Structures are given as structure tokens and as C-alpha cells.
Amino acid sequence: MPVVEQVGLAEAAALAERGLVGGVVVIGTPDEGIVEAVAGLQDASTTASLVIAVDEEGGTVQRLDGLLGRLPSAHGLTELEPRQVQVVVADRAAAMADLGFTMNLAPVLDVGAGPGIGSRSFGDEPGVVTTYGRAFAEGVREGGLVPVVKHFPGHGRADADSHDDLPVTPPLEEMEAFDLLPWRGLPDGVAVMVGHLDVPGLTDGMPASLSPAAVDGLLRGELGFDGVVVTDDLAMGAVEEVATMPKAAVLALAAGADLLITGGVDDVIPVAWEVVTALDDGRLATARLDEAVERVFALRGVDPCTLVG
């Protein structure tokens, strides 16, 4: 999924015609033309319905306030009762669906307001984050969109902003009793975004997004999550410290991610070629790629049998 502004959706459509994208992440400040632009992208896709995602958390991270009005931050929403939050978010999600969006990259389940998070977190207590995060996620689902909870395994107490550097979190044994609590028993119908976080005792200096121990081991194994796993944007500074975009994409797929947010449209073809090369040289197993494709097609409501001519 490349990251594009509204004007870039036409460029993404050219990739969709070649079957090279599973969707897009829309940034910037969309205007009334977003409906027509998204429809044009969907019409261009040769692999049926695409994921149309946006970061609509509220507060400092929202793209659609010019069209839908302002949404309070996660921290601001805690002034309401959880049920009220669910209703407010459900109305917002329904309006987003009317614009053509299918996925909201929210809510944030990070416990704490560390660098890069701030008011994006519901608070400093795991119980508050769990209650309000799930109310937000359920509202997104009620409104007809897929909620993506983030940033696993927990960015709230990390020491840096992953947009710039690779953050280090508290050790895994400390996170088990605190940061990981909102991630236990996730409801059906949500996807999980894995953050670019170095977790001592788990990731060995790698971002969690590229770590089999974090994704396949902790998230899927210990916590039992079987839904779609999404990476945070692989163009961020935290990943650049470790690997180039194409190689990072292969590492993320091999670690257990299903859907990759891959910078801009210019990154899509290099990533695709790196995946092909990795299949040939054994860095990526065909079965792992098949698993990712199956999950993403299911998320998109696509029967792959209908794509075979």
C-alpha cells in the first residue's frame, strides 16, 4: 500500500491496473474530489476491491477534518463515556465509508505519551487504553470500516519517535505486565499495525515490524492473533537505519506481516522485484507469501478464483 495524497491516486491507479498494489494510504488534506478519485482507482484495479486506508485518529492525526469536521484526540475522547466514544466514532466511520474509505489506521493502543505519541494515546493506564481503544475500534467496525490497532507491541514508553530513529522500549518482561495488556484478547475484525520498535529481550536490535520473534512469535504465537498484520510505513527513519525499503519489505513479509505500507508510489515496483528475487533465493517462502495474500484477499472481500481468466 503506497502512501499518496489525493492528487497521487491517479498515479496509483496505473499500478492498480498492473495488479501491483493491494490498496493505498491517503494522506494530506482531501477535498470533495476524493470520492471520484477513489472510485477511479477502484475501477482501475485488475484484482478487484482495494483497501483505501487513512489515519483518522483524531487530534493531531486526522486527514478528513476539512470534510467531516474535527475529531478530538484519543486523550480528549476519554472525557466521554466509552459508549459515547463508540457512537461518535461509528458516525465518523460511516461518513468515511461514504467517501470511499475501507480502513481506518486507528485506534492507538499505546500506553503512555512518549515521543511521537502524546495525546494520540488514551492514557497512561493499560485499563483505560484497553477500554477506550476497544470502544473506538468497535465504532470503526460499526461504521463499516476495518480498524487497525497500533503500534504493536507498544510505542507509548519508547525513547524516540520512530519517524526519525529506531526507538527502544522497556524490556519485554516489563512490557508483558503493562504495555502488552491492551493487545491480549483482541476482538475479531481488527487488523494490527506493528511498530518500528526495538524491544530488548525480543527483537535483538531489529524493529518489531521486521522481527519474526515479535510478529510470528509474540503476536501470532503467544497472543493468538490470526488476523491481518500491517506494517507501519517502511519509509520511516527507524527502518532506514536497518535496511533499504525493498529489503525491509521482504523482512517484514518473512516475519509474518501481510500488508505492507511502502512509502510512495515510486517504491512499489522496487519492492515487487525484491519480493520476486527473495522467492528465488530462499529469503521468502512461497507458503508465507501465499498466507499473506490469502489474508489480504479475505480482508478485501476478493475471491481469487474470480481473478483467473
DSSP code string of 238-299:
HHHTT--HHHHHHHHHHHT--B---SSGGGHHHHHHHHHHHHHHTSS-HHHHHHHHHHHHHH
| Catalytic (active site) residue 258 | no
One-letter amino acid at 303 equals: D
- Which 3 state secondary structure label does DSSP give 195? coil
Catalytic residue among 232, 233, 258, 267: 232
Please report where in the chains the cell 492528487 appears, as a residue. 7
Interatomic CA distance for residues 60 and 269, integer angstroms: 32
Which pairing describes strands 61-62 and 51-54: parallel, antiparallel, or unpaired?
A: unpaired
| Catalytic (active site) residue 163 | yes
pLDDT, position 309: 61
Interatomic CA distance for residues 220 and 224, integer angstroms: 5
Closest CA to 179 of 114, 110, 106: 110
| Topology adopted by domain 153-300 | TIM Barrel (3.20.20)
Domain ranges (residues) in the chain: 153-300
Catalytic residue among 91, 124, 161, 163: 163
Interatomic CA distance for residues 226 and 247, integer angstroms: 25
For 179-226, the pLDDT digits (tens) are 999 999 999 999 999 999 999 999 999 999 999 999 999 999 999 999
E strands within the chain? 3-4, 23-26, 51-54, 56-58, 61-62, 103-104, 146-152, 191-194, 229-231
Q: Is the dihedral of CA 217, 218, 224, 228 positive or negative?
A: negative
Interatomic CA distance for residues 234 and 271, integer angstroms: 11
Which pairing describes strands 56-58 and 61-62: parallel, antiparallel, or unpaired?
A: antiparallel
Asked if residues 14 and 274 have their Cβ atoms less than 8 Å apart, the reply is no
Please list the pLDDT of the chain residue by residue as tens digits (309 residues). Answer: 999 999 999 999 999 999 999 999 999 999 999 999 999 999 999 999 999 999 999 999 999 999 999 999 999 999 999 999 999 999 999 999 999 999 999 999 999 999 999 999 999 999 999 999 999 999 999 999 999 999 999 999 999 999 999 999 999 999 999 999 999 999 999 999 999 999 999 999 999 999 999 999 999 999 999 999 999 999 999 999 899 999 999 999 999 999 999 999 999 999 999 999 999 999 999 999 999 999 999 999 999 888 876
pLDDT, position 182: 98
CA distance between the termini of the chain:
25
For 101-113, the pLDDT digits (tens) are 999 999 999 999 9
- Which 3 state secondary structure label does DSSP give 10? helix
